[in-house]
Amino acid sequence: MADVLVVEDDKDLVYIYRTALALAGHEVSMARSGSEARAHLGRQVPDLVFMDMNMPDESGADVIKFMRGDARFRNTNIVVITANQLWRNEINPRDIQEFMVKPVSINQLVSVANELTGHRRR
């Protein structure tokens, strides 16, 4: 079972992502802002982070820079999920494993999570 952190401020997407990933067998934690994400990351090193880019207090790009500047997260996979393609220009492609544009299907979400964590449902 992989530890997955979903950083997303949209409450409906939080519910959908959490439910889909949990049903696929992942241990899912949620953060609704950049500061919540940083607090969570101070307590736990996830295997995978799904990162929204537009959040109320700081951008997902700032959280990604924080993570990539800390050796504890060198093996953590990061997937950007955003509605704004322009964020692609703000992210170093070496810092993330995948860039997904909303809307993202449940199948896409679970497939990417399983692939990046080596998870196979029994």
d(CA 34, CA 105): 24
Tell whether the model's pLDDT for residue 122 goes beyond 70.
no
- What is the value of pTM for the model shown? 0.95
Q: 69 CB contacts (<8 Å, ≥6 apart)? A: none
Mean pLDDT value of segment 50-62: 95
Nearest alpha carbon to residue 16 among 25, 2, 6: 6
Sign of CA dihedral 54, 57, 58, 64: negative
pLDDT digits (tens, 9 = 90+) for 19-29: 999 999 999 99
Superfamily of domain 3-114: Response regulator (3.40.50.2300)
pLDDT of residue 40: 97
Residue boundaries of the structural domains of the chain = 3-114
pLDDT of residue 119: 72
Tell whether the model's pLDDT for residue 15 goes beyond 90.
yes
% of the chain exceeding 90 in pLDDT: 94
Judging by beta carbons within 10 Å of its beta carbon (0-12, 13-18, 19+), is residue 88 exposed, middle or buried? middle
